[in-house]
Amino acid sequence: MKIHEYQAKELLEKAGIPVPRGKVAESPSQAADIASELGIRVVIKAQVHAGGRGKAGGIKLANTPREAEDLSADILQMTLKGLPVKKVLVEEAVSIQKEYYLGFVLDREQRTNTLMVSAMGGIDIEEVAANHPDKIAQIPVDPLLGLVDFQARQACFLAGIDSLSLNDTVKIIKKLFKVYQATDATLAEINPLVVTAEGRVMAADAKFNLDDNALYRHPELESWKEESEEDPIEAEAHRRGIQYVRLEGDIGIIGNGAGLVMATLDEVKRAGGNPANFLDIGGGAKAELVRNALEIVLMDPHVKGVLFNVFGGITRCDEVALGILKGMESLNIQCPIVVRLTGTREKEGRDLLKNTSLVSAEKMTDAAKLILELTHGNSAE
Amino acid sequence: MAILLNKETKILVQGLTGREGQFHTEKMMEYGSQVVAGVTPGKGGSTSLGLPVFNTVREAQKQTDATASTLFVPAAFAADAIMESADAGMELIVCITEGIPVQDMIKAVEYTRSRGIRLIGPNCPGLLTPDEAKMGITPGNIASRGPVGVISRSGTLTYEIVNNLTQMGIGQSTIVGIGGDPILGSSFIDILPLYEADPETKLVVMLGEIGGSDEELASAFIKTMTKPVIGFISGRSAPPGKRMGHAGAIISGGKGTAQAKVDALYQAGVPVADTVSEVALMVQKILKNQ
């Protein structure tokens, strides 16, 4: 789960990491009030779950409350990377002397959390990693021991953090690790960590990703989940407990098991088509879930045809067939459906689908070609 | 020979008395696996599926001499159960559970690795050695015994390919599902050496997918192997930043693309199948020429 910058800063502040003074606003007048309360030059920052906000015009400096109001009005009308801006963070503009990067990230290769520190802050860390890999100090944290003080110091020395700000930076690293662990994060980034003209060290921007599988133990963070930021069909699928990812094509895909569904998308793409979605009914799916899956896929108006690809292990092919038939009865389906059932009770499943308008296929490759032929006919109507 | 698991392996089931545990343990036993006991805290002293149930793994191990454990434990308790099993001296732990918090998993993985214990999973279908035994949920009827090692990050995709192999008359030595999570007990590179050392295995099929760099790391090892490996990568059409079902199947920060994996495999001399059905055909061709 992604959270907003202002929420991330709330976590940092609670952990004792200095952040610029500021508040979040949902309207231009609120933004003006916050600016006059702060009484100095402010920065207005769009709060959306997307990177590259600055380049896209979502971050602006305002000298007066009046300017803050006008600029907020502009930003609150923006859509950044497809996401409408509903909130802005209004905070004191700090005078920056230096910019660093601090982060903890789940490191798949090392099978642990890795601390990353760089004196090249304020730019995308992936960019630094690609062009100046030697400018990032990376230190894996022992999973059982946690972060040890010397590691924080070592990372700072390796990264070339200024000796004047070293002590403050080490303290912030230790606090950041605590909050990273306490929130079950998979990413906690302060970029940039700034040294102000007055020599203060503070988090000017922050980004957190939280582990969805651990949200159950953080009810206070779960309320930060914003379904409005999700695609509406994805949100509906998740409410029904279905793994669905919306894509940009027009062939609806339903299958069981993530790997097999991904391979089915690839097969459709290879045949020259474009998948409209990823949908995994999981293991041992009952007819009702299959019907639900079909309904979800058909909610996307771009869908011109649906391909079912099921390998029956613990999933029974006849149960899947029953679900498809239920869907045919209850949903007003106009588009072609190709069904490929193999494995447990495949014969029973295929028999159920005989004498219907459904098209049966035996092999994955054939199924992909069939649905393309049929939908191509459709689009020519 | 096979690897990791055979009919002599004495197996415990943690979470035996739960719904999943009941269903799949019964199938494991039908297949011929030597399941000797179950562990459910608080249900010690009872029996289930004709097996004694113990409160702790330590007690179960003492009474049965089990060396391996399969876990059907709910996600919130699974990492703890893995560590309990490791502490009790299990040599092989197979965790089927999906949805374990990743910070719990890094601890459990480190705990098992530091003790030299092999952990398979989580979020995996488990292990199956045809005609001998299985730990986990891979359907037994699709497998047949033979020279092909199959290792995969995905469940149903593995079944599909194993089924194809069997239908073409090509058997498998051991089928290993390593799991779809970002943090795994064993990755490709941990298992490939076992196939290399196994006299029965003549060829390995490696089924990867987007996310992480396990396939790239494995490629470096494959260069040193004497046995041929055939690869397949699913998720070639997946967009960046979207999690495709598996927690670990995500392209992030430009890392984990299907193309990078395919390229790495090609560089290691590994033929990569373009489609699922091609995999078994490629296996057939290579085995014929051997």
CA distance A191 to A206: 6
What mean pLDDT is predicted for residues A274-303? 94
CA B138 to mean position of chain CA atoms: 9
* Contact (Cβ atoms closer than 8 angstroms) between residue A311 and residue B159: yes
Q: What DSSP letter does each residue of B150-198 carry, written as one string?
A: EEES-SHHHHHHHHHHHHTT--EEEEEE--SSSS-SS-HHHHHHHHHH-
Interface test with B, best of A213, A243, A250, A280 (most B CBs within 10 A): A213
In a domain, A381, yes or no: no
The pLDDT of residue B9 is above 90: yes
Q: Which residues contact A246 (CB under 8 A, 6 or more apart)?
A: A231, A233, A234, A276, A277, A300
Residue-level pLDDT at A377: 62
**Same domain assignment for residues A237 and A206:** no
Residue-level pLDDT at A229: 62
- Equal fold, B10-120 vs B138-289: yes
Residue-level pLDDT at A378: 43
Task: Quote the minimal CA–CA distance from B20 to chain A in Å.
Answer: 11
Q: Decide if B139 and A268 are in contact by the 8 Å CB cutoff.
A: no
In a domain, A340, yes or no: yes
Q: Decide if A314 and B137 are in contact by the 8 Å CB cutoff.
A: yes
CA distances from A101 to A131, A177, A204, A209 (A): 15, 14, 10, 17
ipTM metric: 0.91
**Same domain assignment for residues A245 and A369:** yes
pLDDT tens column, B134-144:
999 999 999 99
Instruction: With beta carbons under 8 A apart, name residues in chain A contacting B277.
Output: 363-365
Task: Quote the minimal CA–CA distance from A170 to chain B in Å.
Answer: 23
Q: Domain tally for chain A?
A: 3
Count of pairs with CB atoms under 8 A, one residue in A, one in B: 167
**Same domain assignment for residues A274 and A210:** no
Domain limits at A63? 19-92
pLDDT tens column, B163-203:
999 999 999 999 999 999 999 999 999 999 999 999 999 99
Residue-level pLDDT at B63: 97
In a domain, A6, yes or no: no
Structure tokens at A242: 């279905």
What mean pLDDT is predicted for residues B245-260? 84
**Same domain assignment for residues A142 and A243:** no
Cβ neighbour number for residue A374 with a 10 Å cutoff: 18
How large a percentage of chain B has pLDDT more than 90? 91
* Contact (Cβ atoms closer than 8 angstroms) between residue B128 and residue B103: no
Look up the CATH number of the domain holding residue A331: 3.40.50.261
**Same domain assignment for residues A82 and A131:** no
B76 and A CB contact within 8 Å: yes
Segment 34-73 of chain B within 8 Å of chain A by CB: none
Extents of the domains making up chain B? 10-120, 138-289
The listed CATH number (3.40.50.720, 3.30.1370.60, 3.40.50.261, 2.60.260.40) that belongs to domain B138-289 = 3.40.50.261
Count of residues in chain B: 290
Cβ neighbour number for residue A48 with a 10 Å cutoff: 26
* Contact (Cβ atoms closer than 8 angstroms) between residue A96 and residue A194: yes
Q: Which residue has the tokens 């006849």?
A: A318
Look up the CATH number of the domain holding residue A128: 3.30.470.20
Residue-level pLDDT at A227: 64
In a domain, A205, yes or no: yes
Among candidates B160, B209, B247 on the partner chain, residue whose Cβ is nearest the Cβ of A311: B160
Q: How far apart are the first and last CA of chain B?
A: 20
Where in B29-171 does DSSP place strands (E)? Answer: 34-39, 47-48, 51-54, 68-71, 92-95, 118-120, 126-129, 133-136, 145-152
| Lowest-confidence pick of A342-346, B153-157, B199-203 | A342-346
Among candidates A108, A257, A268 on the partner chain, residue whose Cβ is nearest the Cβ of B156: A257
**Chain A residue whose CA is closest to B139:** A313
pLDDT tens column, A201-234:
999 999 999 999 999 999 999 888 876 667 889 9
What mean pLDDT is predicted for residues A60-74? 96
* Contact (Cβ atoms closer than 8 angstroms) between residue A365 and residue A336: no
What's the pLDDT band for A52 if we cut at 50, 70, 90?
confident
In a domain, A246, yes or no: yes
- Can you name the residues that pair with A254 across neighbouring β-strands? A308
Interface test with A, best of B113, B128, B159 (most A CBs within 10 A): B159
In a domain, A156, yes or no: yes
What mean pLDDT is predicted for residues A188-195? 96
**Mean pLDDT, rounded, of chain B:** 95
Task: Quote the minimal CA–CA distance from A345 to chain B in Å.
Answer: 12
> Which of A101, A295, A319, A346 is an active site residue?
A101
Residue-level pLDDT at A379: 38
**Chain B residue whose CA is closest to A368:** B275
Query: CA dihedral defined by A216, A218, A220, A224, rounded to 10 degrees?
Result: -70
In a domain, A202, yes or no: yes
pLDDT tens column, B80-93:
999 999 999 999 99
Q: At what angle do helices A166-182 and A5-14 cross, to 10 degrees?
A: 110
Domain endpoint, select from A169, A204, A222? A222
Selection from B11, B53, B60, B16 nearest residue B34 by Cα:
B11
How large a percentage of chain A has pLDDT more than 90? 78
Q: Decide if A211 and B275 are in contact by the 8 Å CB cutoff.
A: no
Residue-level pLDDT at B251: 81
Among candidates A181, A260, A270 on the partner chain, residue whose Cβ is nearest the Cβ of B156: A260
Locate all alpha helices (DSSP H) within A230-314, ordered by sequence. Answer: 232-239, 258-270, 287-298
What's the pLDDT band for A200 if we cut at 50, 70, 90?
very high
Kind and range of the H or E element at B233?
strand B229-234
Tell me: cis bond preceding B122? Omega within 30 of 0 counts: yes
Domain endpoint, select from A69, A92, A115? A92
Domain endpoint, select from A36, A67, A92? A92
In a domain, A350, yes or no: yes
**Chain B residue whose CA is closest to A185:** B103
Q: Is B217 strand, coil or helix?
A: helix
How large a percentage of chain B has pLDDT more than 70? 100
Residue-level pLDDT at A376: 79
**Same domain assignment for residues A357 and A243:** yes
Residue-level pLDDT at A312: 86
**Same domain assignment for residues A366 and A257:** yes
Segment 84-123 of chain B within 8 Å of chain A by CB: 99-104, 106-107, 109-111, 113-114
CA distances from A149 to A103, B79, B154, B197 (A): 16, 27, 40, 43
- What type of residue sits at position B275? T
Residue-level pLDDT at A381: 32
Residue-level pLDDT at A239: 86
* Residue A269 burial class via C-beta count within 10 angstroms: exposed 0-12, middle 13-18, buried 19 and up: middle
Among candidates B100, B212, B274 on the partner chain, residue whose Cβ is nearest the Cβ of A270: B274
pLDDT tens column, B26-55:
999 999 999 999 999 999 999 999 999 999
pLDDT tens column, B88-115:
999 999 999 999 999 999 999 999 999 9
CA distance B160 to B166: 10
Q: Decide if B238 and A365 are in contact by the 8 Å CB cutoff.
A: no
What's the pLDDT band for A68 if we cut at 50, 70, 90?
very high
CATH 3.40.50.300 holds for B10-120 = no
* Contact (Cβ atoms closer than 8 angstroms) between residue A82 and residue A164: no
**Same domain assignment for residues A279 and A301:** yes
**Same domain assignment for residues A244 and A362:** yes
Selected residue with higher pLDDT from B66 and A134:
B66
**Same domain assignment for residues A250 and A351:** yes
The pLDDT of residue A339 is above 90: yes
